[in-house]
């Protein structure tokens, strides 16, 4: 007897996974490792990239910049002679609040994957939806700022849980804030036990070396070019 095979129709998230896998295939073919870098608005993703890519000795890096509108961050990185492609998400009614796999896919023809080893995708500033959409990345990482308060890991648990690195930026401001760093680290560990954290100031350069080393390490995860 044959059993009827039932195939459930793909929903929107399944479609995203399908496209993310296609992106992954392209990255693998060209031997490119991919970081999905996320944060709240203004936490300092671009400043961290500026500070860490300036003296990067290792992988050749390209950046996909996700923003609702404008290309200010892309322009900052282009000025450093880094290949950058801007993705604007404002085609929706008020702009999409995240990148999905298809937006990344749309941008790939403008990025020469053969000329880079590491692609950093700077997502739209948002602590919710970016964590929900795979884009074909090797690793998700996030930047959080000590100005945002100790409670953020508990309020946005999926974001903190989905990342393998939590970069804590703006530590130069700690003396001027009522921010309990130990409590914050406890909250991070509660939602993502054992996750790696890094204390940095993109402004003063403190701790940036550790992030640079981490980027080099991710670059080394890239498969050999096919």
Residue from 10, 80, 154, 220 touching its own copies (CB under 8 A): that is 154
* 13 lies in the site for its own copies, by CB under 8 A: yes
Distance of closest approach, residue 2 Cβ to its own copies, in angstroms: 34
* 148 lies in the site for its own copies, by CB under 8 A: yes
Q: Which is nearer to its own copies, 25 or 42 (CB)?
A: 42
Q: How far apart are CA 147 and CA 176, in angstroms?
A: 10
* 50 lies in the site for its own copies, by CB under 8 A: no
* 42 lies in the site for its own copies, by CB under 8 A: yes
Distance of closest approach, residue 198 Cβ to its own copies, in angstroms: 19
Residue from 23, 86, 123, 145 touching its own copies (CB under 8 A): that is 145
* 70 lies in the site for its own copies, by CB under 8 A: yes
Pairing verdict, β 61-67 and 84-88:
parallel
* 24 lies in the site for its own copies, by CB under 8 A: no
* 91 lies in the site for its own copies, by CB under 8 A: no
* 36 lies in the site for its own copies, by CB under 8 A: no
* 40 lies in the site for its own copies, by CB under 8 A: yes
Site residues for its own copies per CB under 8 A: 13, 40-42, 67-70, 72, 93-97, 124-129, 131-132, 145, 147-149, 151-152, 154-158, 170, 172-173, 176-178, 203
């Amino acid at each position: 007897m044959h059993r009827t095979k039932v195939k459930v129709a793909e929903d929107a998230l399944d479609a995203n996974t399908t496209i993310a896998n296609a992106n992954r295939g392209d990255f693998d073919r060209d031997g490119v490792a991919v970081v999905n870098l996320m944060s709240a608005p203004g936490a300092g993703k671009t400043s961290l990239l500026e500070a860490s890519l300036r003296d990067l000795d290792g992988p050749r890096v390209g950046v996909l910049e996700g923003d609702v509108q404008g290309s200010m961050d892309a322009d900052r990185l282009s000025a450093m002679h880094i290949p950058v492609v801007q993705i604007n998400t404002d085609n929706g009614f008020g702009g999409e609040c995240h990148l999905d796999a298809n937006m990344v896919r749309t941008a790939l023809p403008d990025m020469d994957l053969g000329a880079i080893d590491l692609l950093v995708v700077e997502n739209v500033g948002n602590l919710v939806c970016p964590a929900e959409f795979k884009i074909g990345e090797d690793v998700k990482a996030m930047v959080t700022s000590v100005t945002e308060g100790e409670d953020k890991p508990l309020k946005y648990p999926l974001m903190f849980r989905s990342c393998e690195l939590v970069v804590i930026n703006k530590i130069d401001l700690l003396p001027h804030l009522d921010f309990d760093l130990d409590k914050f680290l406890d909250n991070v560990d509660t939602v993502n036990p054992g996750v790696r954290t890094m204390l940095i100031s993109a402004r003063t350069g403190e701790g940036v070396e550790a992030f640079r080393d981490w980027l080099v390490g991710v670059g080394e995860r890239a498969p050999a070019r096919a």
